[in-house]
A and B are shown apart, each in its own frame.
Chain A
Amino acid sequence: MKAAIELTNVSKVYRKYSGKQFSTLKSAFLQRSILRDLRPSEVFPALTDVSFSVARGSTCGVIGRNGSGKSTALKLVAGITKPTAGTVRVDGRISALIELGAGFHPEISGRENVYINGIMLGLTKSQIHSRFDDIVEFAELREFIDAPVKTYSSGMYMRLGFAVAINVDPDVLLVDEVLAVGDEGFTHKCLDKFAEFRRRNKTILLVTHSLNLVEKFCDDAVWLNNGRAMTHGDPKRVVGSYLAAVEESEEKLLAETTARAVEDAGRKGREGREGEQAEERAADPTSNMFQATEGRWGTREVEITEVVFSGADGQPAHIFHSGDPMNITVKVRSRQAVEDFVFGIGLFNAEGVCCYGTNTYLEEMNPRRLSGDADATFAIDGLDLVEGTYKVDVAVHKRDGAPYDYHRLLYTFRVKSRVHDVGIYRPKHTWRFSPNVVFSRDQG
């Protein structure tokens, strides 16, 4: 099949804004180098050697993190900017849903703006005239069409912009994250319109953060990362590798923030160890459970040296999938052997709700002896929590509650889930139905 959009080794370099603009006029005149001065001095590569093509009649999704070059790629395809190197070839008339209603004039009516916007997008007056009713109908703005655009809400503004752009009837439609515009109903209407485009063998290039949409809707997907095309092809596979990479970087971030939290708390704890506050806290560890701020206190006779989360494979991790096994390993060092000790664990969700808390004393384990370097592992068979960020308390204290070392909300892990259920706890479950309850396989 012939490609409708083809990018070949495309690079785009932006000049970084350096605030030197005011001195350049003088130097430009002095050195007679106005054109030369417009060459970028300090540059930022937005896209590097990107090649992909979109077949005519297919829908291609572009995904990637913020700043990965998605919008730049779209602008290049739209012809708004030119590539620094490489070629962009597009076959057919383009309509770009990049900024909806760009070019609307606030002072004049919606009606006049539809005409002018349509002309800007390449329609003739009579074409707009014949499509005018469709446009207004689609935007759901019949009663407001003669009011000046400045009186529109942002949703109305966007809907009108979308309605005009989509009625240009392009061969190639470029969409940049505009489905977040309207309410649920309008979004569905837009999706229907896209589906209609597909049926009529038009090409769509879609930039979005909605991975569901890409999986459901696209024939193809491209994942851009730091201006490079990482993978291109089947949307499920591309989304999968994108998610894996996102997880990896989140993992790194969580590890860093946890390390910093522990270090901060350790420093503060040492400073305040002899302080009155610390003693007050030490007196009543159960009330400490509900203190919202993170911190660390205790006598340090037994010191928690490290807390490691790990998955089934035993590798340290900070991101788990709902239902996966998880181990929390607490490494301690005891300066001298102690005979009175309790290991405690508490799990909190992002709102600070205690999801679960227990300790070895509550579970009727009688302490006998703890000495030297030791570790305790709290093994969870299935992490039956809904998606979210969770914080962990770990503590070693005496049976009466006097803490050796109490780490308050210092450790963070994240639970991921493809199902967006709500609450805190997800019981392991299945659904069973009588035969006269029927579901279709396809969602949405």
Chain B
Amino acid sequence: MFSNLANLLRYRGLIASLVARELKARYRGSMFGFFWSFINPLLLLLIYSFVFTSIIPNEDAKTRPYALFMFCGILPWTWFATSLSDAAGSLIAGGNLIKKVLFPAEVLPIVNVLANMVHFFLGLTILIVFLVVYQKMPDPWDLVWFPIAVIVQLVFTTALGLALAALAVHFRDIRDILANLLTLWFFATPIIYPYFQPNVQKFRPLFNVNPFTHLAISYQEILFFQGPIGHWKWLLGLGAASIPLFLGCYWMFDRLRDSFAEAV
């Protein structure tokens, strides 16, 4: 298993070019091409802005503008959720490679996670532009935590992506279960409502069990809320837990590896 993990480093060139291909191919043939990576989040942000200023005006000064607050959680969530659903289908979609070419299968879900990370970064630039426009400049010291949050999320997402990819080969229903589970998970995470809301606090232990709660809160504190990061212990804790999770998921992936060529 560890030699396979080490091999993964050797494949970084392959992973890089596959990520590039994924990004290029996604918008190939469309008129705006790569700009869709900006247009999509921009439109989403405009819609939220309209809804939360004109239709349901936000009363709480702390979370104003509400659309930006939500956006801080939605962007990483989109990365997370899309990565998982892409990864779950990755081995099946890449069946040709696994069956016909000597190909390190774990590259496929990893490429999905990384390609979605690039989209996350592109969406982030839109967010930053709007943060500047609304004069919500994040504290520079807070920003030190940003790469840490990204790395934690990357490890966590990759771990789950590997596990889902391997299992989905054998249990195709996982992809449908996952789609529903992700919707549930989205609403169970303080993304479109703030964590400090009294109703959320009532169920606090439950929210704390949800790993994405800590990622969402971390991003919100880093990018949106003023003041020092109060949630860093949880973030680091999640990071520490993600490493054994990753190893466990990778171990399972490795165990199932030989069955892929036949089951895909």
Contacts and interface: CB of A to CB of B under 8 A. Distances in A.
B171 A25 contact: yes
Interface in A105-153: 105, 107-108, 112, 115-116, 119-121, 124-125, 148
Interface string B85-96: 000000000001
Contacts of A108: 21, 24-25, 28
A431 interface: no
A38 B172 CA distance: 14
Interface stretch (B53-61, B221-229, B252-260): B252-260
Interface SS of A by simple majority: mixed
B101 A105 contact: no
B101 A148 contact: no
Contacts of A79: 102
Interface string B235-258: 000000000000000000001101
Q: Which 7 A-B pairs have the closest CB atoms?
A: A99-B100, A102-B100, A107-B25, A25-B171, A107-B28, A102-B96, A81-B261
Given A14-B262, A34-B170, A107-B28, 14 more contacts: A21-B170, A24-B170, A24-B171, A25-B173, A80-B98, A81-B261, A82-B258, A99-B96, A107-B25, A107-B29, A108-B24, A112-B21, A116-B17, A125-B17
Contacts of A424: none
Contacts of A116: 17-18, 21
Nearest to B16: A119
Contacts, number: 81
Contact of B13 (A15, A24, A119): A119
A31 to B, nearest CB: 14
Given A28-B171, A81-B258, A120 B96 contact: no
B192 interface: no
Contacts of A38: 170, 256, 259
B28 A148 contact: yes
Contacts of A81: 258, 261-262
Contacts of B97: 102-103, 120
Contact of A78 (B96, B102, B173): B102
Contacts of B231: none
Contacts of A148: 28-29
A94 B28 contact: no
A44 to B, nearest CB: 11
Interface string A1-44: 00000000000001100000110110010000011001000000
Given A34-B167, A116-B17, A121-B101, A103 B96 contact: yes
A217 B13 CA distance: 37
Contacts of A121: 101
Interface residues of B, number: 29
A232 to B, nearest CB: 25
Nearest to B14: A119
Contacts of B103: 103, 120
B99 interface: yes
B255 A35 contact: yes
B51 to A, nearest CB: 35
A385 to B, nearest CB: 42
B92 to A, nearest CB: 12
A368 B174 CA distance: 84
A75 interface: yes
Contacts of A78: 102
Nearest to A84: B258
B171 A103 contact: no
A338 interface: no
25 contacts: A14-B262, A15-B262, A22-B172, A25-B171, A34-B167, A38-B259, A80-B101, A80-B261, A82-B258, A94-B102, A96-B101, A99-B96, A99-B99, A99-B100, A102-B99, A103-B97, A103-B103, A105-B21, A107-B24, A107-B25, A107-B29, A108-B25, A120-B14, A120-B101, A120-B103
A98 interface: yes
Given A24-B171, A108-B24, A112-B21, A80 B96 contact: no
Contacts of A125: 13, 17
Contacts of A96: 100-102
Interface string A60-90: 0000000000000001001111100000000
B83 to A, nearest CB: 19
Contacts of A25: 171, 173-174
Contacts of B17: 115-116, 119, 125
Contact of A80 (B14, B24, B100): B100
Nearest to B170: A38
B21 A98 contact: no
Nearest to B171: A25
B261 A75 contact: yes
Nearest to B13: A119
A121 B102 CA distance: 8
B86 to A, nearest CB: 15
Nearest to B100: A99
A106 to B, nearest CB: 8
B99 to A, nearest CB: 7
Nearest to A15: B262
A72 to B, nearest CB: 10
B101 A102 contact: yes
Nearest to A24: B171
A120 B103 CA distance: 7
